[in-house]
């Protein structure tokens, strides 16, 4: 996920945004199912008589029967903006941090450590920026069919009115604790395995992945 120095950061950010938007469209139904199962306090078991959602196939069937096919894309608008904004911010911040850390003596000869630190910081900053969208998306997905939020804009105004700005950043601490090592590891291992593959193929480093 490193790029040559002359690469325009804007294109990197745009590519990250489009990637996030595309994958979110495909994966949104799985996110809806995951959140429904996570929020259920009753046992998730095929033999449970008290649980609304018992298995993944049964959950899919129940959501479809009660709410229709569009229910699998509840909160999709907020999710799309979230994914695009996070992708753009993450890749853009990574390039910015990487450019600065390249000049620091402490990271000289420690490319993988630099990749990890840049990834961790970029992931944390991106998470902070899009946290309100994540809160809105989760509220929309988890509410009942006749829930109180009509759409994403109504959710924003309602949360801010009743809970203040802090309500839009609920769960920020745990989110950063998860995202920082995850994103740092992704960038680090991407570059690590990229280098391994290039050595195996004997391809010049700058030909495929750019400078590490």
Domain boundaries in the chain? Answer: 9-201
Give tens-digit pLDDT for 184-200.
999 999 888 888 887 88
Q: How far apart are CA 203 and CA 199, in angstroms?
A: 7
Give tens-digit pLDDT for 79-102.
778 778 887 888 889 988 998 998
Q: Please say if the pLDDT value at position 207 is more than 60.
A: no
What is the average pLDDT score of the chain?
83
Instruction: Return the structure tokens found at 176.
Output: 């950063």
Q: How far apart are CA 159 and CA 141, in angstroms?
A: 15
Contact call for residues 90 and 126 (beta carbons, < 8 A):
yes
pTM of the model: 0.67
Q: Which CATH class is domain 9-201?
A: mainly alpha
Q: Please say if the pLDDT value at position 153 is more than 80.
A: yes
């Amino acid at each position: 996920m490193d790029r040559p120095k002359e690469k325009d950061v804007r294109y990197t950010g745009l590519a990250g945004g489009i990637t996030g938007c595309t994958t979110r469209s495909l994966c949104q139904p799985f996110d809806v199912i995951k959140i429904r199962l996570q929020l259920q306090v009753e046992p998730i078991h095929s033999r449970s008589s008290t649980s609304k959602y018992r298995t993944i196939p049964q959950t899919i069937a129940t959501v479809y029967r009660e709410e229709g096919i569009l229910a699998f894309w509840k909160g999709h608008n907020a999710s799309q903006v979230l994914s695009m904004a996070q992708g753009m911010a993450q890749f853009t911040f990574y390039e910015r941090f990487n450019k600065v850390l390249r000049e620091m003596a402490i990271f000289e000869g420690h490319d993988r450590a630099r990749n990890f630190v840049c990834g961790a910081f970029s992931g944390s900053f991106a998470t902070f920026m899009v946290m309100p969208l994540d809160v809105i998306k989760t509220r929309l997905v988890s509410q009942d069919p006749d829930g109180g939020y009509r759409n994403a804009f109504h959710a924003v105004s309602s949360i801010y009115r009743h809970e203040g700005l802090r309500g839009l950043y609920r769960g920020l601490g745990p989110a950063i604790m998860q995202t920082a090592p995850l994103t740092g590891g992704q960038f680090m291992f991407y570059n690590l395995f990229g280098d391994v593959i290039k050595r195996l193929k004997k391809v010049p480093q700058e030909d495929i992945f750019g400078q590490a």
